[in-house]
């Protein structure tokens, strides 16, 4: 038996700047993912650093934190059968130039950093990330 699964999406500050938040949510809903919970917030430096702690040693980390704290984000709990992989498929590759046609990042991202949205990369990450924002 398949079981419904949950995952975390974050709509990032560049999507708010380019005013495509609604269009991203529309892609998510059309893919059959159900919105269970959603919050609009502005991440602090500490929150962004803790959320992305696995990238702490990467050269892009300081820029990533600056960008993720530069404006509003929407954190969204999504549910579907196979939600983690389903959402990753419609999100597309981190680098928008490598993302498949029709994916969120192909449609709305402008660079590897300013890539419009985030998605949990595994069921374990989804659990940790949902706990982080929704307790
Ligand atoms: P996300 O899926 O949220 O996970 C980590 C984030 O770091 C990623 O999306 C990008 O915003 C950013 N990122 C990943 N790789 C790079 C890179 N090579 N250069 C700049 N930013 C990156």
CB 76 within 8 A of CB 26: no
CB 8 within 8 A of CB 54: no
Map out the domains of the chain with their CATH numbers.
4-134 (3.30.70.141)
pLDDT along the chain (135 residues), means of 10: 90 98 98 98 98 98 98 98 98 98 98 98 98 97
Between vectors from CA 55 to CA 123 and to CA 91, what angle results, nearest 5°?
Answer: 50
What whole-number distance in Å separates Cα of residue 97 and Cα of residue 32? 25
Q: Which two tokens stand for residue 12?
A: 């990032």
Per-residue model confidence (pLDDT) at position 1? 57
Ligand 1 centroid vs 36 CA: distance in angstroms?
Answer: 26
- What's the 85 CA to ligand 1 centre distance in angstroms? 18
Cα Rg of the chain, angstroms: 14
The residue annotated as part of the active site, out of 118, 119, 129, 130, is 118
Residue 108 DSSP label: H
pLDDT at 3: 82
Q: What angle do CA 24, 32, 83 make, to 5 degrees?
A: 90
pTM for the complete prediction?
Answer: 0.97
The pocket around ligand 1, CB under 6 angstroms, is made up of 55, 60, 64, 94, 112-113, 115, 118
């Amino acid at each position: 038996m398949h079981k419904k699964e949950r995952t975390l999406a974050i709509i990032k500050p560049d999507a708010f700047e380019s005013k495509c938040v609604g269009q991203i949510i529309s892609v998510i809903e059309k893919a059959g993912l159900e919105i269970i919970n959603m919050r609009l917030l502005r991440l602090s430096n500490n929150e962004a650093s803790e959320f992305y702690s696995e990238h702490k040693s990467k050269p892009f980390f300081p820029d990533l934190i600056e960008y993720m704290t530069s404006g509003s984000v929407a954190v969204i709990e999504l549910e579907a059968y196979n939600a983690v992989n389903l959402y990753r498929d419609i999100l597309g590759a981190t680098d928008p130039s490598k993302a498949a046609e029709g994916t969120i990042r192909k449609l709305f991202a402008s660079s590897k950093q300013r890539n419009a949205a985030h998605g949990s990369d595994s069921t374990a990450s989804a659990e940790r990330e949902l706990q982080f924002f929704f307790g």
